[in-house]
Structure 1
Amino acid sequence: MSSYRTKIKPASELAKLIKRFKVQGKKVVLSHGSFDVIHHGHFYYLNEAKKHGDIHVVSVVSDLFIKKGLARPIFNQKMRLGSIASLNSVDYVVLCDNTGPWDLIKQLKPDIYVKGEDSMAQLENPKSGVSKDKRTIESVGGTFSLTKAIPIHSIDISNSFNRGLSQEAASFVNSFRKKYNVADMIIEVEKLKKMKVLVIGETIIDEYRYVAPLGKPAKSHVISAQYLQKEEFAGGISACANHIASIVGQVDMVTYLGSKNSKENFIRKKLKSNVRPYFFYCPDQPTIVKRRFVDHAYFSKFFEEYEFNKNYLPLDVEKRVASFLNSKSKHYDLVLVVDYGHGFLSKKLIDIIISKAKFLAVNTQTNSGNAGFNYITKYPKADYVCVDETEARLALQDETGNIDAILKKLHRNLKTKYMIITMARRGAIGYDGNGSLKVVPSLATQITDTVGSGDAFLSISAPCAAAGFPAEFVSFLGSIASAIAVDIIGNKTSVEREEIFRRIGYLLE
């Protein structure tokens, strides 16, 4: 093959190829693994597997389904796919969106599925993954085969290094664990289950369209691509509601949908059981869709498009929302506003929220659909403000000033109790008006997709701030949430309480 990249195929395309190979009388072999830290054991296993047939397909577990440690995988799926595809013993590579190859086996129907002989002991347990592998391949008429293996494991190699944190983050964690212990932190977070939260903002459908690049057309200066498949996620305030619902008792959500293709049923199915939505409909408008076109093999984004209406709510709809907020806002322990700047939150609604909320947490997002028109200064008062560095600088029209000074000035101008500015790879800096600034370095060990990471930070940190947790504690938990979120494609899943606790334990024990 001319390039290792041509070996990387989506499952749908590979299934068609395998059918042709079988018609030609060729045997197709499937191997499966994470293949994170590539080592001699992997080379040996794949070379041996190739000997079992004519066409060797390797299934590589996606980043989302590797759960072997905080810093795993060390290499993202794009790098792991490329590494395996570059081997001469491999003919095709496919991404596996599960911990095991079961769905792929059913779709591809290989003749032989090969595991290393070190998996033999697991066959004695009918509930093990290997036993399920065997049952699945036999269910499609294939053969389960064991081959010689060298007992080396990526997890053992990766554990010989640090936790995957930067030197700055590791130093922070060492200092933080002297002040807080795991048990006490978990007890405090568990107390949030009693909290009742109202979230307000635009619902956004995040659509990912996966394509295969074809190259440049002869007569146009553009890139052409083959459409493969799409995924849709409930994003915007719906994603925030799901994040918060993992740590609090009840979440009510106020948002608007378009009367055209509202997506209400889809959104309802994506919401957690303790999220209760209040939908307000806008006539002659669509529900907001943000559509991203993505290289299926390397998760590189080509471009995105917005499907939305920039106008504010019609007056009759605004009146109904205002009536709800006037009567209900005061009954919540926390009101969280995520203002995406797409016409939902007018000055009238903002004034009501500010006057009625017991504890108000706010983010105003700067994005390509509102650039220059959606600053945090729209909210003259809030108890907790969380914005990123660009949003903070735009609010003060200060492109180059010291970030510490910007934080203190915004904190004062907005009359807020506590404010955090997130700074991507540089972490987050917080200030409560008392004492020094609190800096928490980024706790992310790898980045798959940054979409929604800021929402996750705010969603988990806001209830902590409302509960009166120490400033550094709030920033730490927000940073953990963000680190989890950047390892998730879009808003495919939410940040879960169990994963937060697991990371607290991993970092502090």
Structure 2
Amino acid sequence: MSTEFFEKYKYKLKSQEELVEIIGAFPREKKVIICHGVFDVVHPGHVRHLAYAKTKADILVVTLTQDKHIKKGIYRPHIPEGLRALNLAAFEMVDYVLIDENATPLNILKEIQPDFFAKGFEYASSGLPRATQAEADVVDSYGGQMIFTPGDVVYSSSKFLNLSLPQLQLEKLLLLMQLNDISFDNLRVTILKLSDYHVHVVGDTIVDTYTRTTFIGGQTKTPTFSVLYQGEDNYIGGAGIVAQHLRAAGAKVTFSTILGNDKLKDFVIDGLIKSGVETSLIIDQTRPTSHKNAIISGGYRLLKLDTLDNTPISEEILQKLTNSIQQTPADAVVFSDFRHGIFNRSSVKTLTKAIPAGVFRVADSQVASRWGNITEFKKFDLITPNEREARFALANQDSGVGRLASFLLEDCDCNNLILKLGDKGIFCVAQNEELKTPAFSIDSFANYIVDAVGAGDALLAYSTLTMLATGSLVMAGIIGSMAAACECEIDGNIPIRTQNILAKIDEVEKMIGYKTS
């Protein structure tokens, strides 16, 4: 899709109010017919349906189900509503396209009152389903007529999608940027503004060790793997890498955390000092520095050895953290929760209350395998859980990601949500329904996966700074996703720098076709 495609057909995209003004009240001189559906993939059955409908009226209006109301699968629709609307607008036979903000077309039918409402033959071949009967009742109430298109060709979008999922990463991105008046140069300018802010990170530090081995074989008498030790690499992880990502972006960073009195403490302190992170460290004599050692062979994680203490911090330490939050000037406070002692149901409330008024509040809770819950972080400006954590928190394994995100946004009463979907990218939703795109998805920008560990931390850091710089969830989602992709493409949990993001922006822009060198 190009800018020219968007500009050429967007004139057909109308709001309900605009459409009512254009076609006039029922009964009208020029007959109007409406076809309604999801149209996730426009296929031959749809084309026959639309073509037949156009023969019955002067004006063909196609109304689309909004993304958040689609229940055909957890990750449906694959094509976002804006692009689905443009695809239909490109057909000569289609006069206008309307994205329906309601779950059913009943309100559209009541307000627009088309002369005809067209349904596929399959909806009438064995008696009207309840939903179709409700639509027929509305049409009958004002004197309109239901029309069922011939059933000689019947296709299902779901069957097509089950055969092959559409690859529309760049088209979706370009449309999202166009709808929100964002250019690639806007992204670059934003990256250069990220150093203007001071962020206070509060959370659990983890030392991640990669113990690298070569697989020798298994024992003959016991089910035991035998590996040859090759070496190991240590990385600052958990909330510590979030702080380092922020600092690598140029921001001023203060990091409040708890460490044990051990050798790993020295490793963490030395790494934070070298990266330029200002620290507010608390040494807890009763617990170790959290340590996670992954035994790796041939790129596979054979085993992970954890050394940690998840018991709640003492009241004395909680008070120290509270004082640190209250006394540290910052544009944003980020709670990075791995549920290793700092955050629990009681302490979350205390620490949240300590955040000064007017400070941007962010929370990320990576606790799906332990007793933690992202919904404990109420009224935050941005939360960034992954899909598993969201389903764990809401006890919801069935809803599509759009509805799941909406449920979580409402439960947490937060302003902005970025739901991480792993290799499927992210789904974002904002409380502000006046936005051009209050809900949208962005596919992953990773070209290849070397090590996905830490991608969410990179997204958290860069999304936070972008929200501070622009206030735009769309910009935050794009730049955060690019940071996550950069992290996936390197081995180990290493801070992502602005030059990495700028290179990714250049790469994506060139793929779309705007840059020739």
TM-score category, normalised to shorter length: 0.5 to 0.7
**How far did residue 393 of structure 1 move?**
0.7
Distance of aligned partners of 1:412 and 1:455 in 2 relative to their CA distance in 1, 3 Å threshold: same
Q: Does 1:186 align with 2:205?
A: no
1:77-96: CA deviation from partner (whole Å, max 9, x where unpaired): xxxxxxxxxxxxxxxxxxxx
Aligned partner letter, 1:252: T
Count of paired positions: 336
CA contact (8 A) 1:234 1:267 kept: no
Show the counterpart of 1:419: 417
Counterparts of 1:48-87 in structure 2 under 5 Å? none
Distance of aligned partners of 1:404 and 1:412 in 2 relative to their CA distance in 1, 3 Å threshold: same
Show the counterpart of 1:324: 324
Pick one of 206, 225, 228 that aligns with 1:226.
Answer: 228
Pick one of 364, 389, 392 that aligns with 2:390.
Answer: 392
C-alpha distance in 1 between matches for 2:488 and 2:235: 15
Q: Does 1:431 align with 2:432?
A: no
For structure 2, the 5+ residue unaligned runs are: 1-165, 510-514
Distance of aligned partners of 1:314 and 1:467 in 2 relative to their CA distance in 1, 3 Å threshold: same
Aligned partner letter, 1:294: I
**How far did residue 348 of structure 1 move?**
4.9
**How far did residue 200 of structure 1 move?**
0.8
**How far did residue 343 of structure 1 move?**
1.0
For residue 416 of structure 1, give the secondary structure of its aligned residue in structure 2.
coil
Distance of aligned partners of 1:490 and 1:461 in 2 relative to their CA distance in 1, 3 Å threshold: same
C-alpha distance in 1 between matches for 2:427 and 2:302: 32
Q: Does 1:499 align with 2:500?
A: yes
**How far did residue 266 of structure 1 move?**
4.4
Show the counterpart of 1:235: 237
Counterparts of 1:153-302 in structure 2 under 5 Å? 167-176=167-176, 178=178, 179-295=181-297, 298-302=298-302
CA contact (8 A) 1:238 1:271 kept: no
**How far did residue 423 of structure 1 move?**
0.6
Show the counterpart of 2:408: 410
CA contact (8 A) 1:210 1:229 kept: yes
Show the counterpart of 2:136: none
CA contact (8 A) 2:207 2:264 kept: no
CA contact (8 A) 2:243 2:253 kept: yes
1:249-303: CA deviation from partner (whole Å, max 9, x where unpaired): 31000010012334224442355543101110111321011000001xx311111
CA contact (8 A) 1:322 1:349 kept: no
What percentage of aligned pairs have identical amino acids?
21
Distance of aligned partners of 1:271 and 1:388 in 2 relative to their CA distance in 1, 3 Å threshold: farther
C-alpha distance in 1 between matches for 2:352 and 2:286: 30
C-alpha distance in 2 between matches for 1:242 and 1:218: 46
C-alpha distance in 2 between matches for 1:285 and 1:343: 9
Q: Does 1:351 align with 2:346?
A: no
CA contact (8 A) 1:242 1:272 kept: no
CA contact (8 A) 1:242 1:271 kept: no
CA contact (8 A) 2:249 2:496 kept: no
C-alpha distance in 1 between matches for 2:200 and 2:347: 14
1:327-365: CA deviation from partner (whole Å, max 9, x where unpaired): 33xx21010111001111244542243232411110110
Pick one of 379, 386, 390 that aligns with 1:381.
Answer: 379
CA contact (8 A) 2:173 2:442 kept: no
C-alpha distance in 1 between matches for 2:318 and 2:471: 35
Distance of aligned partners of 1:272 and 1:429 in 2 relative to their CA distance in 1, 3 Å threshold: farther
Distance of aligned partners of 1:423 and 1:400 in 2 relative to their CA distance in 1, 3 Å threshold: same
Distance of aligned partners of 1:468 and 1:282 in 2 relative to their CA distance in 1, 3 Å threshold: same
Show the counterpart of 2:365: 364
Pick one of 453, 456, 462 that aligns with 1:454.
Answer: 456
C-alpha distance in 2 between matches for 1:227 and 1:299: 14
**How far did residue 247 of structure 1 move?**
2.3
Show the counterpart of 1:156: none
1:366-425: CA deviation from partner (whole Å, max 9, x where unpaired): 254x2xx11101212211011110011111100111221111111112111100101112
Show the counterpart of 2:307: 307
CA contact (8 A) 1:208 1:293 kept: yes
The structure whose Rg is larger is 2
Aligned partner letter, 1:445: N
Aligned partner letter, 1:302: L
C-alpha distance in 2 between matches for 1:367 and 1:229: 30
What's the C-alpha RMSD, in Å, of the aligned pairs? 1.9
CA contact (8 A) 1:245 1:275 kept: yes
